[in-house]
Each structure stands twice: as C-alpha cells, then as structure tokens.
Amino acid sequence: MQGFWDDELFAYPEGQVQRGRAEHRRARALAAALWGGDPPALTAGTSEALRTIAYALRERLGGGEAPLVLMSEHEHPSATAAFERGFRAATLPDAALRDPTAAGAIAAGQRPAVLLLSQVTCTIGQVVPAREIAAAVRAAAPEIFVIVDAAQAVGLVPPALTGADVVVASGHKWLFGPPGVGFAWTSPRARAELPLLAGDGEEGERPGSSGVGRTTSRCTQGWLRRSICTRRSGTSR
C-alpha cells in the first residue's frame, strides 16, 4: 500500500512522466524484438495511422494531378476512406494478389504513386505475398510509396517489413490486445520524405500523446502469446 502512495498517488509528476517514457520505449523495443525492424511508432490504431500517412502523402505528392493509388477490392473501409480525398484509385485485380509478376505489369502500365496492400485481407482472410508484390511493383515504378496494412497479419504471420515504406498494424486482432493501440513501421525514406510520420520533439516516437498503459499492456500480451506458442510448438517465428 505504501508503494502505491509513494509511486502513484503522491508521486512527483516528473518522475511519473519519466517512468511513462521508459515504458513507452520498452513497448517499442518489445515490438521490434517480436517482429524485427526498427522500433515502430506507436499509434492509436491502423485507421489513425493510415489517415496520417494519406495526409503526409498528399503534402508530398500534391501540386499537380492527384496521385494514383493502386489497391485491391479487399482493403478495409477505413483504409480506402483515408485515400478518398486528393487521390485517384486504380484496382489491383484478385489475380494479381496471387501473382507478383501480374502486379508488376499493372504497375508498369498504370505508373501509380502509391501501392496500398493488405498482407492478410479482411474480406476472405487471404494471405497475400506482400513482399514479392511490393518488389515487383517497385521494379516497375521505382518512386512508388508502398503501404502495407498488416492489421490482420501481426500475430498470425510476421509483418512484411521488407520492401515497404510504411507498415501499419493494430493490437486488437490476432494479438488479442486492447483497442486503441497500433504500430507504424517506417523506412528511412518515409521518415525523410514524409515528416508527419516522425515524432520529432516526441523523441522520434509519435506525434501527440499516447496511452502508455494500453501500449505496454498490448505489447506484453503479444510477447506472452508468442512465448506460449513457442513453448507449444518448440519453434519460433
């Protein structure tokens, strides 16, 4: 009880802030340990991250004809809504979700500025070869920004970080975490060219404020789930 009084109720505010920041960094490090890559930014979820990305891309690519976004008909409604304003859309057909070569050929003809791709679709649960499609599309359109929606993937398959400029995910699906917490992995190019995705004064973590308790809870649940699965199978993903 004394610990609660000293550490919580009457704690020095600056100490609480420092402890919160430490937990925030720990949560990011746990996410990086689970799935690789640089420690991701922590967001309020996939929808928030996609809206931020879309706004940053409008700022980066605007000034002339609306940039073209290549996406399938299996994207989540919040993902397509983020790119409704200020963009043109082109459809990536279902066959191209299974054939990276076909996706590359479409990109060569359409010359999109953005590829929006779900790693696991929210409609039929299809696991998409996101890394291979991203590579094929980038070969055809080298300046393209590749956005991978891994909301349905993390906890089921490792997020497709390779070849993507931004990978976004949430914690309340296969990780069984609380709502309101998500991840955004960004490439060095994205951090340099899309400054809205960088935390800047917030130690490079995330613009604005974050729910440290929910974030830490979410990452801890993911770590425990992975540990349980590893013990049961004897292997690690």
Full DSSP string of 97-129 = GT-HHHHHHHHHHH--SEEEEESB-TTT--B--
Residue 91 lies in a domain: yes
Residue 18 lies in a domain: no
Q: Write out the residue range of the structural domain in which residue 205 sits.
A: 37-219
Domains contained in the chain, number: 1
From the number of C-beta atoms within 10 Å of its C-beta (0-12, 13-18, 19+), residue 212 rates as buried
Residue 212 lies in a domain: yes
Q: What is the pLDDT of residue 26?
A: 86
CATH of the domain at 140: 3.40.640.10
Mean pLDDT, rounded, for 101-119: 97
pLDDT of 107 higher than 80: yes
Q: What is the pLDDT of residue 236?
A: 36
| 155's tokens | 């906890």
Residue 232 lies in a domain: no
| pLDDT bracket for residue 33 (50, 70, 90) | confident
| pLDDT bracket for residue 97 (50, 70, 90) | very high
Q: What is the pLDDT of residue 21?
A: 78
Q: How far apart are CA 160 and CA 46, in angstroms?
A: 15
Residue 24 lies in a domain: no
Residue 1 lies in a domain: no
Q: Which of 38, 44, 52, 96 is nearest to 72 (CA)?
A: 96
Phi and psi dihedrals of 6, rounded to 5?
A: -75, -40
Residue 147 lies in a domain: yes
Residue 17 lies in a domain: no
Q: What is the pLDDT of residue 86?
A: 93
Q: Indicate the pairing of strand 41-43 with strand 88-91.
A: unpaired
* Its pTM surpasses 0.85: no
Mean pLDDT, rounded, for 25-54: 87
Q: What is the pLDDT of residue 132?
A: 97
Straight-line distance from the first to the last Cα atom of the chain, in angstroms, rounded to the nearest whole number: 41
